[in-house]
């Protein structure tokens, strides 16, 4: 699978992403033709080589030649949809602006459709977003991962006045991404760059098998004394034997809750976004019997899940930590049986034969009740059909 690893030791911005894409082999003339199809004028695209700490990088700039209006999300969507771009590029560009609008709306307590885009609705940001979506598609990238991000510190002036760094929208967008607070004395990640990550990328796992094919560098505008202000993008093939992701584990010990309540707690936690919930008997201090309630979830779900635990249980404190999961690659197939169509989960290592083949319980149970046959018989028939279909 073609993967782009964004090594963001100096953070990133939209223009840095585009610069790294161009340095990795995307053609600038083709990019200009794609962007010319948008119903937007009054700008000029410029690139040049910039050497930073001995590293040759491409600096991508959008020179604005005439005043640009403030735009709403619907106007930007219409502009993107009217362009002569591949459907996948339109989809990704619209998704980037959608997550950006959601973040801005949350900050300003309004709706995404009512958000007035200022800096990020300007022509240069629209170009950066569309060019990023076009570039990843052109390079054949199917998976984007990013390193931990320095967020910088200080203040910046915006259309709304003086704001803290990272910008409020950036902070919202980077929920779930590992960051280094206070690393850098300026804005290290822009809202546009953060929106590209939120829509298209994932945090890089601690270790993963990656065969580098090409390395590109995109230069930033500022010069830093403590690091080269470039974004390094490594293109290559990710060849993991197992899929992996990073989650958080939230735990608490409980010794004074009616056991009948746990079923309700588990259901609410799953509704709140938990990937897995376990309840394990344990012995607490002073020999008291209790349970450990453990929840696996995405980092962005920590607050909602904590809210459920505090509301529904008697605990007064929880703990959480990051965990990395290794998992078999999974897919769902559908098989025809005499009891109807049944979904079957097939799991395997990358490129390997199926390791597990498991009929979906709810499908089998529904078929068993409908036809008034033993559940075990439906499951055995579904398993046999799946194995025959898989060869």
Confidence of residue 273 (pLDDT cuts 50, 70, 90): very high
Is residue 328 helix, strand or coil? coil
CA–CA separation, 303 and 28 (whole Å): 43
How is residue 327 written in tokens?
A: 């998992």
Give the global pTM.
Answer: 0.66
- What torsion, rounded to 10 degrees, do the Cα atoms 19, 3, 101, 9 define? -60
pLDDT tens digits for range 181-233: 999 989 999 999 999 999 999 999 877 778 999 999 999 999 999 999 999 99
CA–CA separation, 383 and 389 (whole Å): 10
CA–CA separation, 283 and 292 (whole Å): 9
Pairing of strands 354-359, 340-348: antiparallel
* Residue 265: CB atoms within 10 Å: 20
Domain boundaries, the chain: 2-241, 244-326, 329-390
CA–CA separation, 122 and 129 (whole Å): 11
* Per-residue pLDDT, 240: 66
Q: What is the CATH number of domain 329-390?
A: 3.10.20.300
* Per-residue pLDDT, 157: 82
Domain 244-326: give its CATH superfamily.
Transcriptional regulatory protein pf0864 domain like (3.30.70.1380)
């Amino acid at each position: 699978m073609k993967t782009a690893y964004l090594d963001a030791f100096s953070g990133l911005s939209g223009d840095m992403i585009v610069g790294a894409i161009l340095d990795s082999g995307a053609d600038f003339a083709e990019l200009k033709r794609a962007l010319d199809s948008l119903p937007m004028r009054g700008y000029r695209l410029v690139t040049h080589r910039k050497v930073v700490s001995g590293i040759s990088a491409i600096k991508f700039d959008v020179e604005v030649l005439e005043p640009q209006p403030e735009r709403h999300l619907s106007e930007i969507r219409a502009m993107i949809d009217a362009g002569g771009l591949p459907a996948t590029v339109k989809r990704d560009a619209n998704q980037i602006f959608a997550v950006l609008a959601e973040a801005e709306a949350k900050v300003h307590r309004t709706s995404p459709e009512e958000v007035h885009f200022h800096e990020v609705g300007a022509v240069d940001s629209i170009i950066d977003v569309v060019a990023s979506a076009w570039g990843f598609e052109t390079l054949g990238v199917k998976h984007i991962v990013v390193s931990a991000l320095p967020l910088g510190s200080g203040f910046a002036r915006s259309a709304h006045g003086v704001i803290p760094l990272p910008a409020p929208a950036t902070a919202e967008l980077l929920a779930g991404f590992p960051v280094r607070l206070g690393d850098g004395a300026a804005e290290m990640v822009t809202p546009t760059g953060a929106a590209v990550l939120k829509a298209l990328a994932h945090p890089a796992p601690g270790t993963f098998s990656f065969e580098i094919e090409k390395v590109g560098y995109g230069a930033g505008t500022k010069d830093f004394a403590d690091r080269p202000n470039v974004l390094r993008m490594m293109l290559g093939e990710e060849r993991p034997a197992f899929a992996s992701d990073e989650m958080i584990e939230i735990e608490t010990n409980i010794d004074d809750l009616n056991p009948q309540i746990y079923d309700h707690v588990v259901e609410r936690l799953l509704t709140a976004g938990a990937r897995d919930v376990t309840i394990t008997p344990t012995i607490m201090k002073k020999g008291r019997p209790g349970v450990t309630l453990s929840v696996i979830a995405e980092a962005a779900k920590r607050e909602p899940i904590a809210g459920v635990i505090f509301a529904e249980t008697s605990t007064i404190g929880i703990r959480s930590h990051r965990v990395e999961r290794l998992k078999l690659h999974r897919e769902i197939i559908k098989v025809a049986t005499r009891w109807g169509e049944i979904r079957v989960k097939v799991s395997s290592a990358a490129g390997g034969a199926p390791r597990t083949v498991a009929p979906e319980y709810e499908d089998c149970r529904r078929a068993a009740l409908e036809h008034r046959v033993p559940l075990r018989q439906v499951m055995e028939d579904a398993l046999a059909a799946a194995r025959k279909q898989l060869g």
